[in-house]
Copies of this chain bind each other. A is one copy, B any other.
């Protein structure tokens, strides 16, 4: 393999001078620099990261440890955000999935250690509370889309489910809807409670009574084996004599069944019933007809900001473990009409 030494030989300088050129250090004549650069090009030399790391004990590598993230349609944008940041900042990304198994998780932390990772991004598929099995490794860590149960205060970046749901609810209220249905997310998800709270609070603030609301559970059970009541819940909701004029679906995926339930009863969307989702899971939100009005989970930015934050933590410039929250912008499409 071509190393710094071969380059030095060809360029007729010492290896240290080559090193200087590579790292853009000062005190190299323009003429020498050019000779070295030519040699590098001619030999196709590429610096060896492993050697660098061993010398400097910094790997310039971040690890992503994810539960099912890279595995599922959802939230892969988090990973994309991280990768884009890494690419732009010359960092390398090592990625691993636990698949939910905690022995896996321990193994992965070991692996990260053995690569002398600078920091870890702990990412979850759904917004939730976790118990990271860090194995007391002491690698700087930032949580993305989740929050540690224990008070060990790792910095985290999360979506603002509350604000997103509040916006959606307001959007419906401002368009004259006064009977509104809500299909609840799986209660094990952190977003479930936040979104429901926002829905209740916001409708309450607008003067709606509990009897104006129609709230049903759409899903429950462990991730990957949940029971799905959405279709039944939506059907039942729409069969009431005093049926809601708008339904807020816990997320976009569930909205598919709300659409189908409504259409099976001969209701037109949005003329007879307005529907909103949550997440802006575009494979769904853009595929539905009419396209779905929803609140966009800021997955990409979650990843970008998370990497950024981790970087400052590693650099030591971030002292107190801060938790940031990112807003969920409303994406207006065609599934809601004004009354």
Is A264 on the interface with B (CB-CB < 8 A)?
yes
0/1 interface trace, chain A 216-252, chain B, CB 8 Å (1 if under): 0000000000001001000000000000000000000
CA distance A264 to B80 in the complex (A): 37
Report the minimal beta-carbon distance from A22 to chain B, rounded to whole angstroms.
Answer: 11
Pick the interface stretch among A6-14, A27-35, A71-79, A141-149: A71-79
Contact indicator A70/B50 (Cβ below 8 Å): no
Pick the interface stretch among A170-178, A202-210, A283-291: A283-291
A72: B residues at CB distance < 8 A: 76, 283
Which residues of chain A (238-272) have a CB below 8 Å from chain B?
253-254, 256-257, 259-261, 263-264, 266, 268
A111: B residues at CB distance < 8 A: 92
Contact indicator B96/A95 (Cβ below 8 Å): no
CA distance A84 to B74 in the complex (A): 19
Contact indicator B288/A260 (Cβ below 8 Å): yes
Known: A83-B96, A84-B97, A266-B266. 10 other contacts (CB 8 A): A1-B116, A49-B50, A70-B80, A71-B76, A73-B76, A87-B96, A87-B104, A94-B94, A254-B287, A261-B289
Closest 3 CB pairs of A and B: A73-B73, A263-B263, A50-B50
Q: What would 16 A/B residue contacts be, using CB atoms closer than 8 Å?
A: A46-B114, A47-B114, A49-B116, A50-B54, A50-B115, A51-B54, A71-B77, A74-B283, A83-B97, A84-B99, A87-B96, A87-B107, A93-B95, A93-B96, A259-B260, A283-B283
Residues of A whose CB lies within 8 Å of any CB of B are 1, 46-51, 53-54, 57, 59, 70-74, 76-77, 79-80, 83-84, 87, 92-97, 99, 104, 107, 110-111, 113-116, 228, 231, 253-254, 256-257, 259-261, 263-264, 266, 268, 281, 283-284, 286-289
